[in-house]
């Protein structure tokens, strides 16, 4: 892999990099479901989580990105996950390994609520 990475990084065009990186990642997780490497995004904007309800498959890594001028947090109501304060453009990620509904809020502005539904 290190050798391959260097080689890929040496290629000039992003298109080629993308084409080559996707198979490389698949080879790392050779015998797992493709969804295991799935990702999803939540944007924090105007003091709200968007989408407010996110539905994903088990194994998905969800990344929250704060687009506000004010810091926010992402805190599970049931103490499953808890971010530090995320300032503008800072991110927080969590991988959901179990099915279920995960309500969360911003601990600084608790009117901000959202949930991740994992199945």
Partner 1 sequence: MPDKNEDALGHQLNDVHDDGIDRRGFLKCMAWAGTGLIWTVSGGIPVSRAFASSMPRRAGTGGDFSFVQISDSHMGFNKPANPDVAATLEAAVHKINGLARQPEFLLHTGDISHLSRPEEFDNVDQILKGLGGKHVFFVPGEHDVLDDDGKSYLERYGKSAKGSGWYSFDQRGVHFIGLVNVMNLKAGGLGSLGQEQLKWMGDDVKSLSSSTPIVVFAHIPLWSVYPEWGWGTDDSAQALANLKKFGSVTVLNGHIHQTMQKVEGNVTFHTAMSTAFPQPKPGTADSPGPLKVPSEQLRSVLGITDVRYVQGHHSLAIVDSTLE
Taking the least distance from each CB to partner 1, the nearer of 93 and 107 is: 107
Asked if 113 and 105 touch (Cβ cutoff 8 Å), the reply is: yes
CA distances from 21 to 17, 18, 27, 38 (A): 6, 5, 10, 15
Taking the least distance from each CB to partner 1, the nearer of 13 and 46 is: 46
CA angle 99, 30, 12 (to 5 degrees): 110
Give CA–CA dist 115/82, Å, rounded: 13
Shortest approach of partner 1 to residue 33 CB, angstroms?
A: 32
Give CA–CA dist 79/90, Å, rounded: 21
State the residues that interact with partner 1 by CB under 8 A. 46-48, 68-71, 73, 77, 84-85, 87-88, 103-105, 107-111, 113
Shortest approach of partner 1 to residue 77 CB, angstroms?
A: 5
Shortest approach of partner 1 to residue 42 CB, angstroms?
A: 16
Shortest approach of partner 1 to residue 97 CB, angstroms?
A: 22
Taking the least distance from each CB to partner 1, the nearer of 84 and 119 is: 84
């Amino acid at each position: 892999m290190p050798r391959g990475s260097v080689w890929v990084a040496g290629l000039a065009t992003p298109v080629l990099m993308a084409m080559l990186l996707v198979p490389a990642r698949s080879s790392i997780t050779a015998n797992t479901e493709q969804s295991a490497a799935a990702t999803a995004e939540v944007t924090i904007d105007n003091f709200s989580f968007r989408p407010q309800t996110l539905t994903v498959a088990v194994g998905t890594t969800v990344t929250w990105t704060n687009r506000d001028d004010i810091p926010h947090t992402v805190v599970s109501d049931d103490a499953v996950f808890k971010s530090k304060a995320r300032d503008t453009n800072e991110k927080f990620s969590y991988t959901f390994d179990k099915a279920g509904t995960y309500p969360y809020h911003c601990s600084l502005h608790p009117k901000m609520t959202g949930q991740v539904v994992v199945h």
